[in-house]
Amino acid sequence: MTILTLEQLKETRGPLLGIDPGSKTFGLAVSDATRLIATPVETIRRKKFTPDAQKIFALYDDRNCTAMIIGYPINMDGSEGPRTQSVKDFAHNLQTLRDIPILFWDERLSTAAVTRTLLEFDTSRAKRAENVDKLAASYILQGLLDRLRS
């Protein structure tokens, strides 16, 4: 399994695919080739692993991505809980299908921050539900891109 460190990721070039893995959906976002801006792309409703993975790999290939950034659900106290193991299992299963470089990135409060922003813009409940996961993926990915530049 190819799990990258931040330093190793800095040595690579090209777009990145951000994933916000939830229990029911995956939010997906991509960066531009220069890694300045994260853009929300889509939300995939989870069904079965292999077809879901194929959709993720298709987007990865279509956008010429060079690594996946997967939101890592660390508890507020910094500890790991059952959701972190679920995300590790998801990444491991992806890599059994295809060895793609992965970096886990802290996703604490990403969904809350996005939801708060959507509420500030008076977004309807239906629109929030439709967009929150891909926006959370973009928020996670943008946090990493900002860190890469600092």
Write the single-letter amino acid at 110.
S
CATH fold, domain 6-149, is Nucleotidyltransferase; domain 5 (3.30.420)
Q: Give CA–CA dist 95/101, Å, rounded.
A: 9
Q: Give CA–CA dist 125/115, Å, rounded.
A: 10
pTM for this entry = 0.90
Q: Where are the domains of the chain?
A: 6-149
pLDDT digits (tens, 9 = 90+) for 51-73: 999 999 999 999 999 999 999 99
Confidence of residue 23 (pLDDT cuts 50, 70, 90): confident
* Residue 68: C-alpha distances to residues 5, 117, 138 (Å): 12, 25, 12
Check: CB of residue 19 under 8 Å from CB of residue 63. Answer: no
Average pLDDT over residues 109-121: 65
3-state secondary structure the chain: CCECCHHHHHCCCCCEEEEEECCCEEEEEEECCCCCCEEEEEEEECCCHHHHHHHHHHHHHHCCCCEEEEEECCCCCCCCCHHHHHHHHHHHHHHHHCCCCEEEEECCCHHHHHHHHHHHCCCCHHHHHHHHHHHHHHHHHHHHHHHHHC
Residue linked to tokens 């990721």: 9
**Dihedral in degrees, nearest 10, Cα atoms 78, 82, 85, 91:** -100
Q: What is the pLDDT of residue 117?
A: 67
Confidence of residue 125 (pLDDT cuts 50, 70, 90): confident
Is residue 128 pLDDT above 60, yes or no?
no
